[in-house]
Amino acid sequence: MKKIVLALAVGMGVAFSSFGQDFYSPGERDYWLQKAQEYLPELTERVVTPKGVVDIVGDASCFQGWKAVSSSSIQAFYERPLKSQSGVVLDFGDHLTGYFTIVVSPMNSTPDAPARIKFTFGEVPSELATPFDPYRGGLGRAWLQDETVTVMTVPDTITIPRRLAFRYVKVELLHAPNYEFTVSHASCKAVTSVSATPEPLPATVPPLIRDIDRVGLNTLKECMQTVYEDGPKRDQRLWIGDLYLEALANMYSFKQHGLTKRCLYLLAALADESGYLNASVFERPYPHPQAKQMLYDYALLYNVALKNYLEATGDRQTAEDLWKVAKRQLDIAAPYLQDNGLLDFEKANKDYWIFFDWRDGLHRETAFQGVTIYAYQQTLELAKLLGMEKEVAHLPGHIKRMTAAARKYLYDKKTGLFTGTANKQVSYTSQVWMILSGVATKAEAQRAIRALQTAKGVVRPGTPYAYHYYIQSLVDCGMEAEAKEALTGYWGGMVQKGADTFWEAYDPENDRLSPYGFFPINSYCHAWSCTPVYFIRKYPGIFQ
Ligand code: RAM
């Protein structure tokens, strides 16, 4: 099977060149794909059974207004006919990613018709209580995890074909037949490619930090499948931005570097003909990219991920193999660099999806300048590690010029805050990227962070993704107490609201925030929110 997939995918790789001029040769693409396949991890399987039955109860004080309250034992549920308890919710006790099975058995008469059962799977209680239809989300409705099964003959054992991500399962009887039956022996074959156990935290670490670390590890474990997925419920694919953060967290926990290597090669093999990386790729039915979906900042962060990988593993071969790809990503910025040292944001914004965060109205100009400088610096470091500085001899000059321009045009000395040129919006993200790129001095960085707390109309991060960079910027500018407070406040907030795994979007002031217009479609086990694992373990002096 593996061989067939590889042949198909390699065929695809070759096809790239037949469409037009390909920046990479078919041989390069095939080799990168082969390397990716070589590091395809085995999934470990574990059969998990439900811990009990719960009621989903409305409670305004709980996350999104719902909570799960233990109601009866699983045995009691198995023994009674489904007809008498349709709508019951089983609780597996923790977040799982895998395949759900249940047994349907007749009670005391001969089944004479099919049975129709609906299963609804939820990562969080609200998914079991919020009607999915009429559907009004911005992403495909089919991501929502409800499945109707027609059991043609009873007894039978039913396995839902799609892989699911859930803690809770609602079981409803649709169109009751003329006979009684039970459902029992519910189980989930849970899968992950994680097989290592990270080092335990020292006994002195406070309980909240322990909880945050535990939930972060759980999030990462669930997302580590045959690639670093962004979310096992949705989108189940490899995105560069998610990989970047997952790889960091993995580096300080499971240390399964083979998965990082696989993902770096896979992204390279599936780059656009221009040589620029597509922001996300799919493994199935054969490896292919989400074509023409390029995220400016993600493409540049690939270089940082490669540098981090080299530093963590010393695997020069991989870094050398992929250096050409990293070098090519630098060119993405080139057309936008103006004589004054500023990048032309308006122009780039037309050509690319410039991301940084899911937050409506975020003005991304300043962060765009910052991430480019940062990626240039990190790529220069990578070049130095590989002895390739000569190939990027233009970088030091660019970094200097762009930094000076950012200081001149984007910094408001009066307020101590960074804003855009025409758009004077104040956001966390703008300050953060001016700090990470070293545009702000340490003193300026601290002043900007303090000014954020009192400035009016500040645009706050909408996702743990953006929050990660905020914490990193606090660490980088020496605001260690603030970094700890921010981490415990934000991720600790999710823990206190009952998170088993960390969420894709989170605003402490708006539990129902959704980038997609309908919160049940959000992912509640999302890769990019696992990074407390990295902070807690990389900087024990600050966070432990
Ligand atoms: C969403 C996913 C993914 C992210 C992109 C930009 O679709 O949540 O994690 O990387 O957005």
Longest dimension (CA), the chain: 84
What is the 3-state secondary structure of 292-312? CCCEHHHHHHHHHHHHHHHHH
Distance 468 CA to ligand 1 centre (A): 15
In the chain, what percentage of residues exceed pLDDT 90?
Answer: 96
Distance 310 CA to ligand 1 centre (A): 25
User: With bands split at pLDDT 50, 70 and 90, how would you rate the model's confidence at 196?
Assistant: very high
Query: Are the C-beta atoms of 244 and 303 separated by less than 8 Å?
Result: no
H or E stretch at 351: helix 345-351
The stretch 319-328 carries a mean pLDDT of 98
Residue 208 reports pLDDT greater than 80: yes
The stretch 207-217 carries a mean pLDDT of 98
Distance 222 CA to ligand 1 centre (A): 16
Residue with CA at minimum distance from ligand 1 atom 3: 230
pLDDT in the model for residue 19 = 53
In the chain, what percentage of residues exceed pLDDT 70?
Answer: 97
* CB contact set of 424 (below 8 Å; sequence gap of 6+): 412
Mutate to test the pocket of ligand 1, among 228, 235, 356, 516 (most ligand atoms within 8 A of CB): 235
* CB contact set of 50 (below 8 Å; sequence gap of 6+): 74, 90, 91, 92, 93, 169, 186
Residue with CA at minimum distance from ligand 1 atom 7: 235
Q: What's the CA gap between 271 and 291, in Å, rounded?
A: 9
Report the nearest atom of ligand 1 relative to the CA of 139.
Answer: 7
**CA-to-CA separations, 110 to 107, 178, 179, 180, 348, in angstroms, rounded:** 8, 10, 7, 9, 68
The stretch 172-196 carries a mean pLDDT of 96
Length of the chain: 544
CATH superfamily of 45-192: Galactose-binding domain-like (2.60.120.260)
- Domain segments of the chain as ranges: 45-192, 329-354+360-459
Distance 63 CA to ligand 1 centre (A): 22
Mutate to test the pocket of ligand 1, among 219, 223, 242, 290 (most ligand atoms within 8 A of CB): 242
Helices (H), 410-507: 428-436, 442-454, 464-476, 480-496
Distance 242 CA to ligand 1 centre (A): 8
Residue 13 reports pLDDT greater than 70: no
Report the nearest atom of ligand 1 relative to the CA of 526.
Answer: 9
pLDDT in the model for residue 15 = 45
Distance 234 CA to ligand 1 centre (A): 9
pLDDT in the model for residue 175 = 84
Lookup result for tokens 């100009």: 365
For the chain, helix, strand, coil in percent to 5 are 45, 20, 35
Distance 244 CA to ligand 1 centre (A): 12
Report the nearest atom of ligand 1 relative to the CA of 239.
Answer: 10
Rg (CA), the chain: 25
Mean pLDDT of the chain: 95
State the DSSP code for 238.
E
What is the signed CA dihedral for 434, 436, 437, 443, rounded to 10 degrees? Answer: 60
Residue with CA at minimum distance from ligand 1 atom 1: 235
Residue with CA at minimum distance from ligand 1 atom 6: 355
Report the nearest atom of ligand 1 relative to the CA of 527.
Answer: 9
Q: 48 forms bridges with which residues in the sheet?
A: 188
Report the nearest atom of ligand 1 relative to the CA of 280.
Answer: 10
Mutate to test the pocket of ligand 1, among 239, 503, 513, 531 (most ligand atoms within 8 A of CB): 239
Residue with CA at minimum distance from ligand 1 atom 5: 239
The stretch 518-535 carries a mean pLDDT of 98
Question: Model pTM?
Answer: 0.95
| Exposure of 33 in the CB half-sphere (CA atoms within 13 A) | 29
Distance 92 CA to ligand 1 centre (A): 27
Lookup result for tokens 């919020």: 130
Residue with CA at minimum distance from ligand 1 atom 9: 230
Distance 227 CA to ligand 1 centre (A): 15
The stretch 161-165 carries a mean pLDDT of 98
Query: Which DSSP string do the residues of 161-183 spell out, in sequence order?
Result: SS-EEEEEEEEEEES--SS-EEE
In this structure, CATH architecture of domain 329-354+360-459 = Alpha/alpha barrel (1.50)
pLDDT in the model for residue 176 = 86
Distance 513 CA to ligand 1 centre (A): 15
Residue 476 reports pLDDT greater than 60: yes
Distance 420 CA to ligand 1 centre (A): 25
Which amino acid belongs to residue 46?
Answer: R
Ligand 1 proximal residues by C-beta, below 6 Å: 230, 235, 239, 241-242, 355, 504, 528
Residues 482-498: pLDDT tens digits? 999 999 999 999 999 99
Distance 239 CA to ligand 1 centre (A): 7
Residue 31 reports pLDDT greater than 50: yes
Q: Are strands 88-106 and 52-58 parallel, antiparallel or unpaired?
A: antiparallel
Report the nearest atom of ligand 1 relative to the CA of 353.
Answer: 6
The stretch 215-222 carries a mean pLDDT of 98
**CA-to-CA separations, 398 to 371, 381, 393, in angstroms, rounded:** 13, 15, 10
Distance 260 CA to ligand 1 centre (A): 18
pLDDT in the model for residue 7 = 44
Report the nearest atom of ligand 1 relative to the CA of 523.
Answer: 8
Report the nearest atom of ligand 1 relative to the CA of 504.
Answer: 8
